[in-house]
C-alpha cells in the first residue's frame, strides 16, 4: 500500500503518485499476473466462470486500473520525466496483453467453457464476454504458428510505441509554437477575454504584449475574429504543418504514419484478412469496407449540394462585403463569423456571454437528473478526493434513494502539458465484487475538455465562458460518461462502454448534443455573465435559424476524413508509388468543395487514427450520428414536443445506457426505438431533408 498505484481500495491517489512509483508498480503487477495466468493454465479442473474467467478478470483489472492512472496523467499533466517513464513501461504492458491474446492454453480453455453445459446456464452478459474473448483471441493471433506469433507480438509492441510517439510529437509541436505580438493595433477584432489570456501568458514569461499558442482556446478565436489577415495566416500555417517535414524534423510524423500503415497491413495479412479495415470491422456494427464506403458515398452525394451552396455564399460575401478577393484557408472561419453576424445578427462572442460555466454545469446536470432520475453533487470537502490539478472538479451520481451509482472527474481547461481535444476515459468500471448492494464496485470516469479558463477582468475573476460549440462538446463527452456510469451490468467485460461496438459507442454522446438546441434546456442553463438573464428568445431563435449554417461544409469535411481513413486501411499500399498525402488529395478532389493549400499536412495531426483507437473507424461518428438522431427523434415525437421527459428518458437509460455491451448495439437500438435505424432524422437535423 506504500505505492499508491497498488492501492485498489478506492479512488486513485493522484496527489501521492510520483514517477518513481510507476515502474515498480507495473513490474509487480505484470509479475503477479503472469503467475496467476500460469496457475490458471496448469489447473486441470474443467474451466468454469469462477475458477477461470473470474481470476483472469480480477488480475487484469488491477493492471488496467494502475496503467489507466499512468496513461491519464501522461495525457493531462505531461512532463519529460513522466513521458520517459510512460514510454519505458508501455512496451512491457503491450507485450503482456499481446502475449495474453496469443495464449493457446487460455484460448483452449475458453473454447472448452463455450462448449460446456455450464455456458447455457450463464447470464447473457457472461455469454457475450466468452464469445467476445474467443473472437479477440483469434484477432490476437492465438491461432498463428509459434514463429508467426513471435512476429505478431513484435508488431503489437511496435505499433503501440509508434502511436505514443505520434502523440508526443504532436503535443511537442503544439506546445512549441508561440506568436508574440506587442502592437495592440495588430489584434483588432479578437475578443477581450482571449486577449486577456494572451496577455497573462506573456506576463508569466516576463514579456510585454500578448502571446498566442496553437491550443484551441487561443488558436480558434484568432482564426475566427482577428481582422489581421497576416496574423491569421501565420497561425494557420503553424497549426496545419504541425509534426510534419515543414516543422522541426525531429517531430515529423510522416515516417511514423508510413510505418504504422505497413505494420497494420502486415498484421491483417497474418490474420488472414485482405486489409486492416477488415480487422477493425470484425468488432463493429458495419461488416465490410465496401458497406462503409457506400454509406459515406451516399451521405457525400446528399451533402455536396448544400456544401457547394455554403461555399458560394461564403465566397460572394467575402468578395462583396469584406473585399478579400480569393478566399484562403485562413479566411474561412473569419468570413463565416462575419457572414453569420450579417445574416443572423448575432455572433458567437455574444452568445458566449450567456454560457458561463457556473450556469452550464448545473443546467446540464439538471437535464440528466430529470431524464434519468439521478442526483449529481460534489462530495463534501472533507471527503479527501485527490486530484491531479487544482482546476479539476469531482462529482458523485446517486439514485433517488441516495445510493451511489458512480463518480466522475471533470477537467475542463486547456493548459500546457495537456493533450488537446475532448475525451472520456474510464478510471474504474462497474462490476460485482461481493454480495448485496454493497458488493457493487461503482464506476468512475474521467471527462476531459480543453476550454478557456476563467480570467481576471477589471480586477474580478469571471467564470469561464463557453461558446455554444464548446457546450456541445461538453454534452458530447458527458454522454460518453453517462454510458460508462449508468450501466447496470455487473460483469466487467461488457459493463458500461466495455464490449460496445466502436461504431455504436458514439450513440450516447451524439445523442446528448441534440439537447443543446432545445429551448426548454437552454432556458435553464444560460445566465448572462453580467446581467444574470437567461438567453433571450430572440437570440435563441437566431441561433436556431443558424443551426444548420454551413452544415453541408461540416458534413462533407467529416466524410472526407472518414473516407481517407477507410481508404488508407483498405486499398492503400504503404510504401507504394502513392503517398498518404496524395491519397488525401485524391479524395478531396472527389468529394471536397474546399481544397486546403498544398502545405497543409492534416494527416500528421490525425491522432484519432494514428495515435488513438479510430483506425478504420473514423466513419463511426457519422454512422452513430444516424443512430443518435433517430433515437432523439423519439423524444421529439413524444409528449407534445417536450424533450425533457422522464418516461422516454427511462426507456433510453434502460435499453441503451444500462445494458452496456451485453448485447449487440443494433438489438439495443431496436429495443429502444421499436424498429431499425433510419437516416431521415439525421438529414432533417442537418437541414438536408426534402419535403
Tell me the catalytic residues: 477
Q: Kindly list the distances between the CA atom of residue 617 and the CA atoms of 54, 256, 554, in Å, as whole numbers in the listed order.
A: 31, 19, 18
Q: Where are the beta strands (DSSP E) in 36-110?
A: none
The C-alpha angle 513, 516, 518, rounded to 5 degrees, equals 125
CA dist list (Å): 307 to 255, 543, 554, 688: 34, 20, 8, 11
Give the up-direction half-sphere exposure of residue 582: CA atoms within 13 A in the CB hemisphere: 9
d(CA 243, CA 259): 15
Q: Are 487 and 443 in contact (CB under 8 A)?
A: yes
Q: Give the start-end residues of each E strand in 146-187.
A: 178-181
Q: Return the SS3 of 449.
A: strand
Query: Helices (DSSP H) in 103-145: which residue ranges?
Result: 104-115, 118-121, 124-139
Question: How far apart are the C-alpha atoms of 599 and 242, rounded to whole Å?
Answer: 11
Residue 176's CB: how many other CB atoms inside 10 A? 14
> β-pairing, 455-457 with 423-428?
unpaired
Q: Cα dihedral sign for 155, 160, 26, 491?
A: negative
Contact 309, 594 (CB under 8 A): no
Provide φ and ψ at 184, rounded to 5°: -60, -25
CA–CA separation, 484 vs 426, rounded Å? Answer: 7
Distance separating alpha carbons of residues 674 and 487, to the nearest angstrom: 21
As a 3-state breakdown, the chain gives helix, strand, coil percent values, each rounded to 5, of 60, 10, 30
Half-sphere exposure of 195 (CA within 13 A, CB side): 16
* Three-state SS at 406: strand
8 Å CB contact between 400 and 421: no
Cα-flanking dihedrals φ and ψ of residue 447, to 5°? -115, 120
Are 218 and 212 contacting, i.e. CB atoms less than 8 angstroms apart? yes
Contact 633, 674 (CB under 8 A): no
Give the whole-angstrom CA distance, residue 454 versus residue 436.
44
CA 383 – CA 380 distance, rounded (Å): 5
Q: What letters, b where the CB count within 10 A reaches 16 and e where it falls short, cover 440-476?
A: bbbbbbbbbbbbbbbbeeeeeebbbbbbbebbbbbbb
Which three cell numbers mark 432?
Answer: 460485482
Question: CB atoms < 10 A from the CB of 290, how many?
Answer: 12
C-alpha grid cell for residue 644? Answer: 425533457
Q: Which helix (H) or strand (E) holds 404?
A: strand 404-413
In 3-state terms, what secondary structure has residue 365? helix
Amino acid at each position: 500500500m506504500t505505492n499508491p498505484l497498488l492501492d485498489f481500495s478506492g479512488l486513485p491517489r493522484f496527489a501521492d503518485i510520483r514517477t518513481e512509483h510507476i515502474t515498480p508498480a507495473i513490474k509487480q503487477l505484470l509479475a503477479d499476473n503472469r503467475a496467476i495466468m500460469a496457475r490458471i493454465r496448469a489447473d486441470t479442473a474443467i474451466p468454469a466462470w469462477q475458477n477461470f474467467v473470474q481470476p483472469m478478470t480480477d488480475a487484469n483489472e488491477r493492471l488496467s486500473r494502475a496503467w489507466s492512472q499512468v496513461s491519464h496523467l501522461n495525457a493531462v499533466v505531461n512532463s519529460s520525466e513522466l513521458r520517459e517513464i510512460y514510454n519505458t513501461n508501455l512496451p512491457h504492458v503491450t507485450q503482456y496483453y499481446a502475449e495474453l491474446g496469443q495464449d493457446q492454453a487460455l484460448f483452449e480453455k475458453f473454447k472448452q467453457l463455450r462448449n460446456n453445459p455450464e455456458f447455457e446456464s450463464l447470464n447473457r452478459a457472461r455469454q457475450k464476454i466468452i464469445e467476445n474473448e474467443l473472437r479477440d483471441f483469434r484477432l490476437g493471433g492465438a491461432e498463428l504458428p509459434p514463429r508467426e506469433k513471435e512476429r505478431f507480438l513484435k508488431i503489437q509492441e511496435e505499433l503501440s510505441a509508434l502511436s505514443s510517439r505520434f502523440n508526443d510529437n504532436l503535443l511537442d509541436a503544439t506546445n512549441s509554437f508561440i506568436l508574440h505580438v506587442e502592437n495592440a493595433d495588430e489584434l483588432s477584432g479578437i475578443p477581450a477575454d482571449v486577449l486577456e489570456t494572451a496577455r497573462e501568458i506573456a506576463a508569466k514569461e516576463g514579456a510585454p504584449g500578448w502571446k498566442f499558442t496553437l491550443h484551441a482556446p487561443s488558436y480558434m478565436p484568432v482564426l475566427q475574429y482577428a481582422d489581421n489577415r497576416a496574423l491569421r495566416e501565420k497561425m494557420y500555417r503553424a497549426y496545419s504543418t504541425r509534426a510534419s517535414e515543414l516543422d522541426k524534423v525531429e517531430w515529423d510524423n510522416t515516417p511514423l504514419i508510413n510505418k504504422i500503415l505497413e505494420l497494420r497491413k502486415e498484421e491483417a495479412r497474418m490474420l488472414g484478412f485482405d486489409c486492416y479495415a477488415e480487422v477493425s470491422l470484425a468488432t463493429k456494427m458495419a461488416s465490410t469496407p465496401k458497406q462503409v464506403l457506400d454509406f459515406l458515398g451516399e451521405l457525400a452525394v446528399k451533402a455536396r449540394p448544400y456544401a457547394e451552396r455554403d461555399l458560394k455564399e461564403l465566397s460572394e460575401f467575402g468578395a462583396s462585403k469584406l473585399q478579400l478577393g480569393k478566399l484562403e484557408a485562413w479566411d474561412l472561419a473569419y468570413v463565416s463569423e462575419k457572414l453569420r453576424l450579417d445574416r443572423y445578427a448575432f455572433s458567437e462572442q455574444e452568445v458566449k456571454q450567456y454560457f458561463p460555466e457556473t450556469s452550464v454545469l448545473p443546467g446540464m446536470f439538471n437535464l440528466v437528473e430529470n431524464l434519468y432520475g439521478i442526483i449529481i453533487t460534489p462530495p463534501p470537502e472533507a471527503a479527501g478526493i485527490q486530484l491531479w490539478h487544482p482546476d479539476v472538479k469531482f462529482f458523485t451520481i446517486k439514485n433517488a434513494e441516495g445510493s451511489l451509482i458512480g463518480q466522475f472527474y471533470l477537467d475542463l481547461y486547456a493548459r500546457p502539458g495537456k493533450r488537446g481535444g475532448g475525451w472520456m476515459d474510464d478510471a474504474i468500471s462497474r462490476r460485482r465484487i461481493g454480495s448485496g448492494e454493497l458488493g457493487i464496485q461503482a464506476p468512475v470516469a474521467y471527462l476531459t475538455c480543453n476550454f478557456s479558463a476563467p480570467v481576471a477582468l477589471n480586477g474580478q475573476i469571471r467564470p469561464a465562458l463557453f461558446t455554444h460549440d464548446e457546450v456541445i462538446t461538453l454534452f458530447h463527452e458527458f454522454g460518453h460518461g453517462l454510458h460508462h456510469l449508468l450501466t447496470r451490468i455487473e460483469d466487467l467485460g461488457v459493463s458500461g462502454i466495455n464490449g460496445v461496438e466502436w461504431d455504436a459507442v458514439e450513440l450516447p454522446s451524439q445523442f446528448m448534443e441534440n439537447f443543446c438546441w432545445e429551448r426548454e434546456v437552454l432556458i435553464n442553463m444560460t445566465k448572462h455573465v453580467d446581467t444574470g438573464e437567461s438567453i433571450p428568445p430572440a437570440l435563441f431563435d437566431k441561433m436556431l435559424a443558424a443551426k444548420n449554417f454551413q452544415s453541408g461544409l461540416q458534413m462533407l469535411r467529416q466524410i472526407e476524413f472518414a473516407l481517407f481513413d477507410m481508404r488508407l486501411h483498405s486499398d492503400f499500399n504503404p510504401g507504394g508509388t502513392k503517398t498518404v498525402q496524395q491519397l488525401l488529395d485524391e479524395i478531396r478532389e472527389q468529394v471536397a468543395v474546399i481544397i486546403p493549400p498544398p502545405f497543409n499536412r492534416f494527416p500528421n495531426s490525425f491522432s484519432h487514427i494514428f495515435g488513438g483507437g479510430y483506425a478504420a473507424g473514423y466513419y463511426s461518428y457519422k454512422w452513430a450520428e444516424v443512430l443518435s438522431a433517430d433515437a432523439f427523434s423519439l423524444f421529439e415525437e413524444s409528449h407534445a414536443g417536450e424533450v425533457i421527459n422522464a418516461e422516454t428518458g427511462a426507456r433510453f437509460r434502460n435499453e441503451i445506457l444500462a445494458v452496456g455491451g451485453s448485447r449487440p448495439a443494433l438489438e439495443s437500438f431496436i429495443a429502444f426505438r421499436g424498429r431499425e435505424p433510419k437516416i431521415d432524422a439525421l438529414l432533417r437535423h442537418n437541414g438536408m431533408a426534402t419535403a
